[in-house]
Chain A
């Protein structure tokens, strides 16, 4: 069973921030939160990951709540090319068995 819950779909206007939520209420202390995305049947692409602190890279920001039971992926200025399925995954360090759920289909509209 997937250890995360995500909304099945979301829309976002081009140029606006896209905020994708993820619930992981049963996360363990040694599990990280990872985000990948899959653009139109291509292979998944790594976006960002974190343990308990907020993280930012050139693609996105990851906000993890203090109790670590939920997180939000933020794409600060969404473009049409960000239209994809976004997967939130919890994973124990040193283990690459990533359990993908159904993800959130983000549609960025002009």
Chain B
């Protein structure tokens, strides 16, 4: 199994541009989530999904959209990038919402100029 994969690894955007961060898992996990990590800080939950077709907001959802059309994929969309969205983004998955262990991807480092 590849586990949780994220693309791209690095991305530079200009203010106002849009892009989609990709996340995929091959473990048949129902629960997937997106976190952001700012320098020197812990992770904060952006959005999560308990299964295909179901998404919900986390702690810091503003400026981000998600959808979950398949069990495997959970893309994160930035509609109009802002410098405040410069961060490292991690995708995570687990069998279900209350599972003890979440598996994290390697992260996407995003810079918005």
Residues of A within 8 A of B (CB): 2, 34, 41-46, 49, 87, 93-103
Task: Bits for B97-111, please: 1 = Cβ < 8 Å to A, else 0.
Answer: 111111111110000
- Is B27 an interface residue when CB atoms closer than 8 A count as contact? no
- Decide: A94 and B92 in contact? CB cutoff 8 A: no
Measured CB to CB, the nearest residue on chain A to B42 is A100
- Decide: A98 and B45 in contact? CB cutoff 8 A: yes
Contacts of B105 in A (CB 8 A): 43
Residues of B within 8 A of A (CB): 4, 31, 33, 35, 40-45, 48, 58-59, 88, 90, 92, 94, 97-107
- Decide: A43 and B48 in contact? CB cutoff 8 A: no
Contacts of A2 in B (CB 8 A): 42
- Decide: A96 and B104 in contact? CB cutoff 8 A: no
Instruction: Return the contact of B107 from the options A42, A93, A97, A101 (Cβ within 8 A).
Output: A42
Contacts of B106 in A (CB 8 A): 42-43
Instruction: Return the contact of B41 from the options A34, A95, A102 (Cβ within 8 A).
Output: A102
- What's the Cα separation between A99 and B45 when bound, in Å? 8
- Decide: B98 and A95 in contact? CB cutoff 8 A: yes
- What's the Cα separation between A46 and B101 when bound, in Å? 6
- Decide: A97 and B100 in contact? CB cutoff 8 A: no
- Decide: B44 and A46 in contact? CB cutoff 8 A: no
- Decide: A93 and B98 in contact? CB cutoff 8 A: yes
Beyond A41-B107, A96-B48, A96-B94, whether A87 also contacts B100 by CB under 8 A is: no
For the complex with contacts A41-B107, A96-B94, A97-B45, 18 further pairs of A-B residues with Cβ separation under 8 Å are A41-B88, A42-B104, A42-B106, A42-B107, A43-B4, A43-B92, A44-B90, A44-B102, A46-B101, A46-B103, A95-B97, A96-B97, A96-B98, A97-B59, A98-B45, A100-B35, A100-B42, A103-B42
Beyond A42-B106, A97-B59, whether A49 also contacts B43 by CB under 8 A is: no
